[in-house]
Copies of this chain bind each other. A is one copy, B any other.
Amino acid sequence: MANSKYEYVKAFEQPDILLPNTWIVVRIDGRGFHKLSDRYAFQKPNDRRALDLMNAAAVEVLKDLPDLAIAYGVSDEYSFVFHPTCELFERRGAKLVTTIVSTFTAHYIFLWSKYFVDTPLQSPHLPSFDGRAVMYPATQNLRDYMSWRQVDCHINNLYNTTFWMMVLRGGMSNTDAEEELKGTVSADKNEILFKRFGINYNNEEEVYKKGSVVYRQYQLEDSKTGSDSKAQSQADAQANASKTQQEKLRKLRRKAQVVVEHVDIIKDEFWERRPWILSGKPGKLPAEA
Contacts and interface: CB of A to CB of B under 8 A. Distances in A.
Interface string A59-103: 010011000000000000000000010000000011101110111
B130 A102 contact: yes
A64 B17 CA distance: 30
Interface string A129-151: 11111111110110011011001
Nearest to A129: B102
Say what secondary structure dominates the interface of chain A: helix
A9 B93 CA distance: 19
B98 A130 contact: yes
Task: List the number of copies, as a whole number.
Answer: 4
A15 B14 CA distance: 9
Given A97-B98, A103-B126, A109-B109, 17 more contacts: A6-B151, A10-B148, A12-B135, A13-B132, A19-B19, A19-B135, A21-B136, A21-B137, A21-B141, A22-B22, A93-B94, A95-B132, A102-B130, A105-B106, A105-B109, A105-B128, A107-B123
Interface of A: 1-3, 5-17, 19-22, 28, 31, 60, 63-64, 84, 93-95, 97-99, 101-103, 105-111, 121, 123-124, 126-138, 140-141, 144-145, 147-148, 151-152, 154-155, 186, 229, 236
